[in-house]
A and B are shown apart, each in its own frame.
Chain A
Amino acid sequence: LENFKKTSEETINYNCLSWALHDTRRKWDPGSEQYYWPKGAATNGLMGTLIGILKELGFAMCSDGSLEVGFEKIAIYSMSGGVAWDHVARQLPDGQWTSKLGELLDITHTDLESLTRSGNKPGYGEVSWFLKRPLGTDGGETKIAQTQT
């Protein structure tokens, strides 16, 4: 990895999607019904499924990862040309990005390219989609949690 700063210790308590959605209490993972996954959403790793969930949480598609005042953006990485999602990063108010790396640590990275794969450099493929929602939105995570319980 390049151009990053460690911001937490390793933990398995949450993953990149949880982190992007400010929910460090739960691991959002379609891999098993033991993990949290919005009720009714398909339990697969397909990009379309994730985008559908994010739209339910108040996000809308946008064209790039430029900083827009009043909005929070996330970037979705894919190692399969956009078929499946492999990582989600969240934009910070200063325009940098923050990521939770699997069950490892949280980092702040200055750009999205820090986590892309190129040549022998490991990474999460390429950024396939950007989404944004107004800052301070309770992205419906609470609503979904309530409908589930």
Chain B
Amino acid sequence: MAKVTKRKVQPFIRGDLSLSDIWYREERGQHVRCVPFSSLRARLPLDFPAPRALDAATFSSVEEVLRQVEGMRVAATAGAAVTIRKIWLHFDDPSRQQLKEKLDRLYAEWRTATAHYSRMDQRAMHMAYLSIIGMGPEVIPLILGKMQEAPGEWFLALQAITEANPVPEESRGVISEMTEAWLNWGRERGYITRRPGDPAGSGSVSALALGEFQKD
């Protein structure tokens, strides 16, 4: 007979998540926008169990996730040992479409004004490019998505935003390899630009929660 340990689990979502909480991951071939457990951590009870493994259940709304967690709480109260192993939420946000449109507009403006320049240090000083950098981490997934679709001069912007340079020495200047280095960097950190066919910013809300009941 399985050992039963009582553990109280509380509903975990408190207040709205900000856009900066959203990460991007590739899960089972699907590109999903997620909120990592670490972002939720501050909203969780101190004794909330840490994630350990991966299991998935898909929900149609945040409310459904809350119901699921409530079910976990009830189960815990009834004596089951419950461990939330991992929790992800992903949802579309209307502001993302605005962000994407702004990025597209700035990049087009920048390219029109500077495409004939020879040096990127000159080109990166253009106000439109500086504005892209100023958009901050929120645009990282969007930029990586652009890089997946077509080659582009996003490298300095990404470096400025992230303070990273994943391009190995032997790949310096080789655009295809630079692009792949950044895409790998993005994959490793859970950034994924969009799911194939995902109408970013559609305003719909959906959620993916990854968790499981564990009975010791």
Contact = CB atoms under 8 A, between A and B. Distances in A.
Do these two chains really belong together in a complex? yes
Contacts of B151: 12-13
B163 to A, nearest CB: 12
Interface stretch (B46-54, B98-106, B120-128, B207-215): B120-128
Contacts of A101: 115-116
Given A12-B151, A103-B153, A32 B118 contact: no
Interface string A23-56: 0011111111111110000001100000000000
B118 A13 contact: no
Given A27-B175, A29-B173, A102 B156 contact: no
A108 B68 CA distance: 67
A149 interface: yes
Nearest to B155: A34
B167 A34 contact: yes
Contacts of A30: 119, 121
Most buried by B among A12, A35, A44, A45: A35
A30 to B, nearest CB: 6
B128 to A, nearest CB: 15
A98 to B, nearest CB: 14
Contacts of A18: 173
B122 A45 contact: yes
B173 A27 contact: yes
A36 B173 contact: yes
Interface residues of A, number: 33
B116 A104 contact: yes
A87 B118 contact: yes
Contacts of A85: 118-119
Contacts of A124: 118
Give the contact-size bracket for chain B.
20 to 34
Given A26-B173, A36-B173, A103-B153, A31 B167 contact: no
Interface string B91-116: 00000000000000000000100111
A88 B170 CA distance: 24
Contacts of B184: none
Contacts of A103: 111, 115, 153
Interface of B: 111, 114-124, 151-153, 155-156, 159, 165, 167, 169-170, 172-176, 178
Given A18-B173, A26-B174, 19 more contacts: A13-B151, A13-B176, A28-B173, A29-B119, A31-B122, A31-B123, A32-B121, A32-B156, A33-B172, A34-B156, A45-B119, A85-B118, A86-B117, A86-B118, A102-B116, A104-B115, A148-B169, A148-B172, A149-B170
